[in-house]
Structures are given as structure tokens and as C-alpha cells.
Amino acid sequence: MAYEAVIGIETHVELATDSKMFCGCPARFGADPNTNVCPVCLGLPGALPVPNERAIEWIVAIGLALECDIAHRSHFHRKNYFYADQPKNYQISQFDVPVCSGGTLDIDVNGQATGVRINRVHMEEDTGKMIHVGGGGRIRDADHSLLDYNRSGIPLVEIVTEPDLSTPQQARAFAQELQAMVLALGVSDAKLEEGSMRFDANVSLRPEGAAELGTKVEVKNMNSFRSLERALAYEIERQTAALEAGVPILQETRHWDEGAGVTGSMRSKEESSDYRYFPEPDLVPIEVTDTWREAIQKGLPELPAARRNRYVALGLDPAAVAVLVSGGSALTGLFENAVGLGADPKAIANWLTGEVAAFLRRESVELGDTPLTGENLHELEGLYGAGDLSATAAKQVLAGVLAGEGSPAEVAEARDLIQISDAGALATEIDRVLANHPEEYQRLMDGDARVIGYLVGQVMRITAGKADPKVVSTMLGEKVKG
Amino acid sequence: MSSPADLTLAEATASLRAGELSSRELLQGTLDRAGLTEAELHAYLTIDHERARAAAAAADEARARGETTGPLHGIPVAIKDNMVTAGLETTAGSQILAGYIPPYDAAAVIALRKAGAVIVGKTNLDEFAMGSSTENSGYGPSANPWDTERVPGGSSGGSAAVVAAGSAMMALGSDTGGSIRQPAALCGVVGMKPTYGLVSRYGLIAFASSLDQIGPIARTVGDAAVALEVIAGHDPLDATSYRGAYPRYRASIGRGVAGLRVGVVAELAGEGISPDVLSAFRSVVDSLADAGAVVSEVSLPSMEYALSAYYLIAPAECSANLARFDGVRYGLRVEGATVEEMTARTRALGFGPEVTRRVLLGTYALSAGYYEAFYGQAQKVRTLVIQDFTKAYESVDVLVSPTSPMTAFEFGSRTEDPLSMYLVDVCTIPSNLVGAPGISVPVGLDGSGLPIGFQVMAPSLGEEILFRVAAEVERSSAWNDRRPPLLEADHGV
């Protein structure tokens, strides 16, 4: 029998607000353990939560971008379960009335468009981080565990789809499109490797064409788009084999093991918690007035789908479009800025997706943390286009700009990289070379064009690479004809 | 007066201002009183001698420079031990928090300090404020200054007892179902529960968040009004804090009750109320009528369900509020082979039987399949109670009832049967469900010489009218000799 997969995705997005969801602590990644904490996010006796208004604004923006309905009045609930990374042993979340419900995100796989329905988008808080020391590195067999509450209370948005996906490729496309959306909105770093964007997938199989859903399995711990795709492919294969062998699928949560390339059982339905949700009495309902919602709608930036269309119309190649659209606000900001100043879109896209991207990878830095501006790119492109910089020199100038050495002109000047394309200046250099190479000069005069390459090389050598080789070559050629 | 400890807050403030008394002398009188009575009362869990002395000295020095910081300048006060105090042990009456030193002050404590108060110490309570007698304290019960064989009421029993005994001039309590008013009634002092949201709950160790409210216990209605002015106010750290205007409650005192409509709650003025309490209550109601109030009887039909609703909502909220006491970050930790075992052992040892009972009850009431029948139903009843009160306040300005159906009871007389203890709060619980203010004013003694409390209730934010009526109750009952026998017979102070 042929089976088809039914997949739904739950996404957690950590918002990049300045402060945490319910207290004033910084919501930043990377500080020393337990330094961004206070009575509220440590769950000390007596502490009370106060909602972060910016986080509410941003979840509304996410909801609007996903074409959701925004509730005028929604509620926080307490989700009760004991776990040591959770300081209150309940998580402030939402239950029956989320901020956003209903919605769609369009994805495209190999030219085939699919609208993925969004069930809900709700607001909650993140937990602390646990590191298990000794044993197998899991809570059960560790010697002891270390707790870092810096992450505790960071605003977390959960986005839940309907089970509208049917292949691992679609799931990956959805995840990537959602990340591009979140980055375009500028509400999260959306880094999978740091956990600021996390995907869980629900997957079940049913006989092809059947209406009834099969037993679903939740798969967790996919830390990259690739692992999401691999985990789902594995899980579909595993469930297919089980069904074909007549083994029923258990409703359970499974953990993706990236190294082994398999999923393993974490807990079955019987072991799953009763969260005993009830309305959070320490908080009043979240009110989103029409005026506020409309203001947020008005402030939405260009979303990935619209941006993609516009970039295609600019003549950019599909690979560059994909990188620019999914690259976050810093990247698109630079691009827009440079193009806005009059630079050639294709050239700028090439710089950004080529040299700049390579630099960032090599140095492991964020674009936003470099001094590179759109103006720099525009200027660099100008110098290169005018022939003042060779392709090699332009790369060196860019590296200098990224390293903080100044504007392209300043770097080119300081590093002495300005190309000599002035005919007068070059004629002097060419004459010097010809004088020192009488044999080659004679061959050139005899009409032997094969010697030009050698002579260009000599000119480049004595000008320390600054001569424009094209101009030199042309000038030598003219001597032959002359 | 034999000791400055017996002064009212208003009298002490006048003496301090006149230079007839220093804050140091006042504190010394208070500490001496505690020294004489504490062995029998056990009303304090912690007395902070050193810092209290330093604060009193600082208050005197400031006054000498002509600076007064606020209406409680140099006044010795006590704080129920479920409000956190920076650097001073705070246990909430529970062994699970034995030795816990908070890093911060509760908002109400900060307000007291800003107003110049001298914090004497932390008072005893039923564990996590769950109880009506202090017998559920993890550190042993407190006794009633009027009869040390009897309970002071609860859960703010320690706060009521220290104010009655003179070992603090005013004390903060917290009231979730009557925990300020009932012990005030049983100890012969004034206890006031403000409108929900009037006093910040930031730093109050939560029992039931939608019901908890901090309020003052004092010797007179006027003193309670002064204290409320100090602790009430919007706090951005409490999302449920009231954002409107905060009037001067003192201005209400002495304005009389002529023309005010006073409703006697029929359901709370008959069956189940002890005869002495009922007769004292009736006599005060008559005095109010004599003073020009228009008295009528009002029926609140949902009253009979209020107690049941309360005992589902409060435990449900407490089951989540107390989940944080898990041995991971602070307080007691009993080691175990796994995290789960450590947490289970810590909670089993750290919580007393009543807290355990309510956590279990609340967990059950919120469980899948039971939520609608228990918690959901209780919330519906709460809505009905609110509607009943709203309707009642269409025809009256305040509602009155006895504060407690009975006067102070003997130790152990209600501990065997939790339901009999729960019934103690039948008159006070409705105000918490509604979120409206209530005050208990002492109006006399029963046949056994035990104090009787009279409760005035007002609509939400009706504090001004509440104080106005309460002051008249205080005046007309004319019960001025409020020295508990403990102070006369045993110590001759």
C-alpha cells in the first residue's frame, strides 16, 4: 500500500526585544551564566510578572504578516509542569484565546506553490537552560546539572500550522520561509543553531487518498533546516516500514539524533503531562485595540514574497534573490541602501552574496557587527566600475572596509591599490619596460602579438600590480599596428 | 499610660512631634513589651533588634534636623512573614523557607520604610497564609493576648496579636479569605482589607493571587487609614495594581453616617453566628441607625456557595503558586537520587498538612476532566457573588455583618475537622471573591471576655465610605478599654 505523510510544524521564535517578557532583565544571548536575572525570572517568592509591551507589538506584527486574525482581548494562562529549568514550575503561556489565530504562509517547492494554514500564534516565556554534567549527558544519568536562567523569561512566540505539509522538502521550505519572514520583520535573530528559532514537527502517515489521519508522532531537536528535512524523511521511512510490517504507530514524542541520523522515543502519550492550564491571575488580559493593530499593520516592512518578486524584476539571479530575501534585515538593508544610492543591483548582489558572505563565514561575525554600509558598497562599485580598482584590488579594499580601515577610497589610498589606467602615466611605464626588454620589443615591432602577455606582466610587476592590465594590453597592441 | 507601647499611632505621632517622646524610647517600650509577652504569645517569628534600633536612632536624628520622612516617622511596625524583607529571614510560616533571606523588599515594605516606619520584625502566620488560627504555622502557633489558651485567629494572627499586645503599633497583614479581618476581630483590634489592586502585591509570597491583598492592622480606624495611605498606590511592578486616583482616607474619619444606607447581610446575621456576637452586632447596627444611618436588611443568595467556590479557587491558584518551592534554587532541599525525587522529598518534608491538602485539592480541581466541574464552576459562582454584591450596592452604600461567627476558640478545637475551620471565614470570604474592601472594628467583649469584631464592607474603591462608617462604629461602640488581660494580670505593665 502507498502511504502519504501529513506534517504540521510548531515553531518557537525567541523575540529580540531589549528586555525579557515579564521583567526588565536584558534578553541577550551570550552573557555569563545567571547574570541577566532578577527575582521575577528566577521565580523568587513574591515576584510578579509585568508584560513587555514591545513583545506584544511584535507578536501582533508576526500575526499580521501571516494574515492571522488578531484578538482584541486575549489571555495568559499558566501551564503547569515541574522541570528544574523552569523557575516557577509553570510557564506563562496562552491557551484558549491566543493573540493570533488563523492565517496562511505561502511556500514554493520546485515551482509548486502551497498555502500552509496557520492555526495559531501565541505568546509565552522561555525557560532556563540546563547542562547535565557526567553520565550520559541526560538529566536521568548525569552526576549533576548546571542551571543558567539568562534565557528564563525571554519572550517566546509559538507558531502552529495546520497539518498541511506532506513532504520533508515542503517542511523545510516552510521553515525557511518563516525564518525569512521573521528576519524581514526584524523581531528575532532567528538562529537555529543558537535556538532562537526552533522547529518541532508532527508527522503521521495514512493510506494515499484516505481522509482520516493516522497516529501522529512529534519529532523534536532539529537544529538546522537540513536536520528538519532529514528527520522527517527518516520518520516517514520508519513509520512506512512499521505500517508495512503491520506494527501500529505509537503516539509519542521522538528525539532526532543528528549524529546517528535516527529518531528515538522520548516519551509516550501515557507519560505526557496534564498541564492543568488556568488563567494567569497575576496578569490582566492582553488588549489590542483597532488603532494599535492598524498602526502595527502600517509599520510592517516589505515581506519576503513581495521582496522576492521585486528582486526578480531587478534582474537578480534566483540564487542571489534567495540569499537576499532570507538573509535578514541587515543584509537587505545594505542592499537596498546601496541600490538606492544608484549602484547596480546585480553588482551589489554579487558582492553581498560572494565576498561579503565569505568574509562573514570566515571570520564568524555578524553583518550587523561590521562597519560596512550601503554607501561603502556604492562607492566600491563606483571605483571598480571606473577602472580605479582591479577585481583583485576591489576584494582587498572590501576586506579593508570590513576590517574597519575606513571607506573604500580611504582603504584603496592607504593600501596603495588605485589602478593606473591613465594613458600618459602608463605610456611612461610601458616605455621603461620596452627599453629594458629590447628583444621582446623587436618581436612586438615585427608584429608578434604573442609577446604582449609577457610585456603586460612586466608592466604589472614594475607598477606593483596597480596598472590596469586591459589598458596596458590595448596600448601595446596599438604599438604593433602603429 | 504606663508605657509608650500602649499609645495609638496618632497619639505616638503627636508625642514624637511635640518632642515628648523619642523614636528610640518608643521602640524600647515596644521591644520591652515584646520581651514581656513573647514567651506566651509567640507572635513574632523574627525580631530585628539591631536594625530596628538603628532605624529609630536615624528617625530621631532626622527629626532633630527638622526632617520627617512621612506619616509613620519613627513608628514601630511589624510585618507578616509572608512579605519579603531584604536581608531579613522570610519564611511565610513554612519550614520549606527556613533560613531564606530575600534579596529584595516587598513594595509595601518599601512604602513603610519611605514613610519613616521602624520595622520591628516579622510576625507569625499560618503556613503560606493558609488557615484561620496560626495553628498551621511551621514554627508553632501564636496565642491570643486576651486568653493565651486560645488562638489569635489567622492567618495574620501574629500581626493581630502584636498590635493587641503593644509589641508593634501597627502591623501589615494579608487577607485572602479574611486573614486580616478575622484575627483582628479575635484580638480586639482594627483590621482592614483594601480593594484588590490598591496595595501592590509585589513581594507578597502568593497564596491565591486573585484574592490576596495586603492591608493594615492597627488599634484604631484612624490609624488604619493612615497606614493604608502609606501602602496604597500604583506599582508598575504589579500588573493588577490600580491605576486611578488614591484619596486621603483620613479625611473620611468623623464625618458621621447620617443619610448613609447600611445593609445588614441577612445570610450572615442569623444562623451559625454565636449569640453573643450576634447581640453585639445588633446593638452596633442600632447605634448606626441612631446616628442617622438608614438601615435595611439585604439578601445575598449566592452566599451559601461562596465558601465552596473559595475553597476551589484558592487551592487551585495555590497549587501553581507553591510549585516553585522545589528545592532547586532556594529554601529547603532534601537530596534524592533524581531531580524528581529531590523535589518530591523536599515538598513532602517542607510543607505542613494543611498546605499539602490545599495543593492536592487545587491540583485535582485543575486536572483534565475535572476543570469544568470544579474550577470552572467555582469561577461561575464567583461571578454570581459579584453580581449579588453589585445588585445589593444599588440600594445600600455599605454592607455590614459580624466579622467572625465566633470569638477566639481554644487551641486544637477545630484542627481535627478542616471544614469546621473553613467555616470560620464565612463572613469574610465574599469580599475577597468580589475584590472589594472590608474592615473589622472591635465592638466589645463576649461573656468570656473575648473581643467581638464588626465588619463593614463597601463596593470596590469604596474605601472612603468604608472608613466613614467604620469610624462611626468605633465611636458608637465606645469600647475604649482595650487592654488585654495578659498585660494586666500577668505582668502588671
Question: Which chain B residues contact residue A88 at CB under 8 A?
Answer: 320, 323-324
- Per the DSSP assignment, residues forming a β-bridge with A116 are A105
Which of the residues A278, A283, A287 would you substitute to probe the B interface, choosing the one with the greatest number of B C-beta atoms within 10 Å?
A278
**Looking at residue A448, which CATH number applies to its domain?**
1.10.10
Q: What is the pLDDT along chain B (493 residues), one digit of tens a residue?
A: 479 999 999 999 999 999 999 999 999 999 999 999 999 999 999 999 999 999 999 999 999 999 988 999 999 999 999 999 999 999 999 999 999 999 999 999 999 999 999 999 999 999 999 999 999 999 999 999 999 999 999 999 999 999 999 999 999 999 999 999 999 999 999 999 999 999 999 999 999 999 999 999 999 999 999 999 999 999 999 999 999 999 999 999 999 999 999 999 999 998 889 999 999 999 999 999 999 999 999 999 999 899 999 999 999 999 999 999 999 999 999 999 888 999 999 999 999 999 999 999 999 999 988 999 999 999 999 999 999 999 999 999 999 999 999 999 999 999 888 888 888 899 999 999 999 999 999 999 999 999 999 999 999 999 999 999 999 999 998 776 678 988 875 554 4
The domain boundary, picked from A414, A447, A462, lies at A414
Residues A394 and A335 in one domain: yes
Residues A263 and A405 in one domain: no
Q: Which of B97, B316, B343 sits opposite A45 (nearest CB)?
A: B97
Contacts across the A-B interface (CB distance below 8 Å): 103
pLDDT of residue A142: 78
Cβ(A71)–Cβ(A288) below 8 Å: yes
ipTM: 0.95
Question: Which chain A residues contact residue B323 at CB under 8 A?
Answer: 80, 82, 88-90
Residues A204 and A323 in one domain: no
B326–A281: do the CB atoms touch at under 8 Å? no
Residues A314, A320, A324, CA angle at the centre, nearest 5°? 90
Query: Does residue A210 form part of some domain?
Result: yes
Residues A374 and A275 in one domain: no
Closest to B83 (Cα-Cα) out of B172, B163, B7: B172
pLDDT of residue B1: 45
Question: Which chain B residues contact residue A278 at CB under 8 A?
Answer: 316-317, 320, 366, 371, 375
Query: Does residue A296 form part of some domain?
Result: no
Q: Which of B208, B239, B366 sits opposite A284 (nearest CB)?
A: B239
How far B103 CA lies from chain A's nearest CA (Å)? 8
CB atoms within 10 A of CB A18: 11
pLDDT of residue B488: 76
Whether a cis peptide bond, with omega within 30° of 0, leads into B210 is: no
Q: Is residue A261 left, alpha or beta, with left meaning phi > 0 and alpha meaning psi from -120 to 50?
A: left
Number of domains in chain A: 3
- For residue A354, give its domain range: 302-414
- Per the DSSP assignment, residues forming a β-bridge with A121 are A100, A159
The pTM score is 0.89
Residues A318 and A283 in one domain: no
Residues A365 and A279 in one domain: no
- Give the span between the Cα atoms of B286 and B398, in whole angstroms: 15
Query: Does residue A13 form part of some domain?
Result: yes
Pick the CATH number of B4-258+458-490 from 3.40.50.11710, 3.40.718.10, 3.60.40.10, 3.90.1300.10: 3.90.1300.10
pLDDT of residue B493: 47
B104–A48: do the CB atoms touch at under 8 Å? no
Identify the segments of chain A with pLDDT beneath 70: 269-272, 481-482
The domain boundary, picked from A291, A326, A345, lies at A291
The 3-class SS string of A249-306 reads CCCEEEEEECCCCEEEEEEEHHHCCCCCCEECCCCCCEECCHHHHHHHHHCCCCCHHH
Cell numbers 446593638: residue: B283
B114 belongs to the catalytic site? no
B80 belongs to the catalytic site? yes
Domain boundaries in chain B? Answer: 4-258+458-490
Q: Which of B22, B133, B137, B179 is catalytic?
A: B179
Enumerate chain A positions whose Cβ falls within 8 A of a Cβ in B. Answer: 39, 42-51, 78, 80, 82, 84, 87-90, 139-140, 145, 147, 274, 276-278, 281-284
C-alpha cell at B181: 479581618
B252 belongs to the catalytic site? no
B328–A147: do the CB atoms touch at under 8 Å? yes
Cα-Cα end-to-end distance for chain A: 81
- Give the span between the Cα atoms of A446 and B218, in whole angstroms: 118
Query: Does residue A297 form part of some domain?
Result: no
Q: Which of B203, B320, B343 sits opposite A46 (nearest CB)?
A: B203
Which of the residues A19, A44, A272 would you substitute to probe the B interface, choosing the one with the greatest number of B C-beta atoms within 10 Å?
A44
C-alpha cell at A314: 531587478
How far A376 CA lies from chain B's nearest CA (Å)? 45
Residues A159 and A178 in one domain: yes
How far B467 CA lies from chain A's nearest CA (Å)? 28
The domain boundary, picked from A376, A396, A414, lies at A414
Query: Does residue A109 form part of some domain?
Result: yes
Q: Which of B155, B156, B287, B319 is catalytic?
A: B155
Enumerate chain B positions whose Cβ falls within 8 A of a Cβ in A. Answer: 83-84, 90, 92, 97, 100, 102-104, 106, 201-206, 208-210, 236-240, 316-317, 319-320, 323-324, 326, 328-330, 338-340, 343, 363, 366-368, 371, 375
Cβ(B402)–Cβ(B440) below 8 Å: no
Residues A236 and A376 in one domain: no
